[in-house]
Structure 1
């Protein structure tokens, strides 16, 4: 018997290791890990199993295979088997990987390739999905075929926002369970002990790859980083660490170095392959700032480090289409975390019921998949209106635009008032 695991990032591998250490997988047979590098140019990126710190996780697996090498020269994020090829490729994959009987398949990012492709080629076994970020609180990105969703037995996730329940896979009735924070932190400490030494810094900026996803222009993302830097300097921080996203290019780091020289602050750059959580454990910064990175949630909930956001309003405005899977992470960061201005002013967002907000946004993103949330979403939008988190066009499309905001409503009210006078 074999349990097959899949991971595409070191953060995901750490989450997986924490779940294994917590006894969430009871299989007694062979443990096979499939790793994939989904970066734009994987040939020049470091594979997960070769990143600093992975060595302490390796012993949990009997074998490790590279999905990139298996399907080369095709890209993992693009390739999927055609329906007519599935029976043949299923046999070839089982033979090549020496699978035998698969007891369980454990996947991240089930709605997209390569996880969805792997699920379609390793069949006739139950599937566990583990979520490695704030996206678990949003609805499932794309519909899953019945032969996949009927096999999913559970969702394992980190409790990044205590009290908030994931919407991911909820339309299929999949039960969600949390991986204990203390178990995850133990894994982080192990990885941190073997990771490269990092220069000390009293604040940290978490980079993302917003321009690569066409959420912002390259210039706007550079200005977002500069705004974060200026805000931290205004708060009195003299040494700032920048943690670029592994999928981001070097351009943003170069621009931020120049901005740091201009304002007279020392900037240190953490390795792109080192997870933000390892940086938190090693550096213990006094403040972590970013846009809507999952690292903001882990810094706050797991490490007790103060955090701040910047630029979420712009991202929420630019996200297209409305069902973009980054919408819920951006909404959570914007509605929950303090906001940092370039002048160093920290302001708290207006208090909201985060659970109600996320469910309302989630329904508007995927109304056909989450019909049970319609009444609560309608009530929330009627009370709070469409400002900030909803698009009027989207609310019109799903039939939830508040009466006061419907076209012609204001004119009707004025006419009634005129007649009454």
Structure 2
């Protein structure tokens, strides 16, 4: 039986970060993954350039049933710390929209960097290697794998969530949590396109491919503990519904059966502008709206809300213009679901953080068992935040094991 100080299961962002951190402290670490290709989620991220962190990352950018949990790890390993590591490995990077940092060249550079960091601590690899069982013993844990038995006093679960099964996502971490009677927050797809009933969406199918910047919100934004979110980002019409950064962001907050509210012209009070222009603008309503919206979208919105395309602005009652203004500045529609895990960038929910130490990521009632990364009920916004949680939680566990 092979003996190690630490066994890390899952060689993605969090797992490699944890393994490297622990191994560079002088511990004997084995890193196990069932996949044949390493870190596919890193490789495909950011359009192949890996949006590896966000300079603005902080607790306010994360969702959890226990929102204070992430503060400790995020404060002890910051975006500046990861940037320092990127610079150490001489990887060129650049900042894009809203603090997002990307590799100049390729996501492969981040994978190679993490491999080099693991090599710096002489991490032992088992890949591809399937863990068939994990049992607690008096000395720690025994892992039975298809490459033989492994014994370790500490085990770190870094197997991610259910998102993108075609690149290897499984429920392994959740099964381990159930085995040790750890509570779960129900997992669901997040950062995912939203879909609509075919009949409801029929007027907008031909809008597919149209993109524009919008404000989008959902849930309650009022009170001491608001449940909703609000974002200004680009929206994209698809054949089945809505996508783009605005929708991916709001999908993490959206609850089934509730509407989302979209302001298609966030810089314009449409009703007031149309009423003010009645006396001077002689154009048809569709032509007027096309000043601010793509023509196809303007026509589709007018038809969907019962307005005639050839109606002249000057002939429209103020009440009708207010109705049109509300339809565009406060377009409320209720999704029937999402594109699911196959298109979700992350999984919301997971291991209930109230079962874990926020300093060490260890399960408080299972000494030596740790959970990090996406397996845990901490979900970041779109834009590098989830990678920052992977790095920070991986380092927290790597320093603690």
TM tier, smaller: under 0.3
* Structure with the larger RCO, 1 or 2 (CA within 8 Å, 6+ apart): 2
TM-score, normalised to structure 1's length? 0.26
TM-score, normalised to structure 2's length? 0.27
Structure with the greater alpha carbon radius of gyration: 2
Structure with a larger share of its residues in helix? 1
Structure with a larger share of its residues in strand? 2
